[in-house]
Structure 1
Amino acid sequence: MDNAARALLNRLQLGLPLVADPWGALASELGQEPEAMRQHVADWLADGTLTRFGPLFDVARMDGAFTLAAMAVPEERFEAVHQQLLTLPEVAHNYRREHALNMWFVLACTDAEQIAPSLKHIEQITGLAVFNFPKLREFHVQLYLPV
């Protein structure tokens, strides 16, 4: 990774400027071209340097109800179950983890009363137990990993 890419990756961890043209503002700040910066991000997403690029929302301030859920999915069924969950509009951020509970996802419903029935529905369509891990406390760690 060259110095320009490193500077961009470090700066993006602090967020995009909240202006009409955030890439233009970053270009001025870093002395880079906006299109080159967007291409870096596209390349990082393609090669796995980044797994996601987008906003983080304070879900506690949004309408609706959210919970973290996990499942122990047999390896031979993992892709099929993953695809099943992708069809459900309330399932987001469905990821594989190296753990006995190897599939983790966020469940987002319009209200708290829909969480339990939605988890039960997932159990019914997959035939697998779903473990619910609701947020008990909010932590703001301001994670920054300089590269």
Structure 2
Amino acid sequence: MPVETAPVELDAIDRRIINRLQDGMPVCDEPYLHIANELAISEADLLQRLQAMLDNKILSRFGPMFHAERLGGGLALAAMRIPEEEFDQVAAQVNQLPEIAHNYERNHEFNMWFVIATEQLDDINAVVSRIENLTGFPVYNMPKIEEYYVGLRFPV
């Protein structure tokens, strides 16, 4: 179950960092230094603030986004029906697998939703079977048929 936490205040520099990073990282030898210079702060300050936002759960993740299919891999959305009293245990079992990302609890009959990402497309079904064997619950596999890009940005 999600834990309620007090809101964290972001200062103007943190907001500028978040807004800038949503536009992507430059492809160069020193991308953090490049962004720090754009923001008129030091590279050390940028890195410290970024780590603090990750540590304080202001940012849930920071890293590259890879197009799995273009790299020969597979991507699927999956859902499970898990009894509430077993949810945390099953979530821990599912999350231990390196192929799992974005595991969320939903207020729905299918209350666990996650993404399976594999190095090869054919490995998706093997991961689904592994999860079913590990947890004892069926996995509803919904492989991506078509991708729709939404340029989503959250100005802060």
TM-score, normalised to structure 2, is: 0.83
Counterparts of 1:145 and 1:92, CA distance in 2: 21
Q: Distance in 2 between matches of 1:39 and 1:47?
A: 12
Task: Work out which of the residue numbers 111, 114, 126 in structure 1 matches 2:123.
Answer: 114
Equivalent residues of 2:19, 2:155 under 8 A apart: yes
**CA distance in 1: counterparts of 2:145 and 2:85, whole angstroms:** 33
Q: 1:109 to 1:13 in 2, by over 3 A?
A: closer
Q: Is the 8 A contact 2:74 2:121 kept in 1?
A: yes
Q: Tell me what 1:90 maps to.
A: 99
TM-score by length of 1: 0.87
1:69 and 2:91 equivalent? no
The residue that corresponds to 2:69 in the other structure is 60
What residue number does 1:35 align with? 44
**Mean Cα deviation higher: 30-39 or 99-108:** 99-108
State the distance in 1 between where 2:98 and 2:155 align. Answer: 35
Distance in 1 (alpha carbons) for counterparts of 2:57 and 2:108: 21
Residue 140, structure 1, aligned to residue 152, structure 2: no
> Hey, what's the Cα distance between the residues in 2 that align with 1:51 and 1:146?
16
Partner of residue 49, structure 1: 58
CA contact (8 A) 2:68 2:117 kept: no
Shift of 1:61: 0.3
Q: Which amino acid aligns with 1:64?
A: G
Taking only aligned residues, the RMSD between alpha carbons, in angstroms, comes to 1.8
Matched residue count: 147
Name the aligned partner's letter for residue 134 of structure 2. I
Distance 2:30 2:98 in 1: 31
**Counterpart residue type for residue 79 of structure 1:** D
- DSSP 3-state at the match of 1:69: strand
Q: For 2:120 and 2:12, how far apart are their aligned partners in 1? A: 46
Partner of 2:20: 11
Residue identity in the other structure for 1:84? Q
Which one is further off, 25-34 or 104-113? 104-113
Structure 2 unaligned regions, length at least 5:
1-9
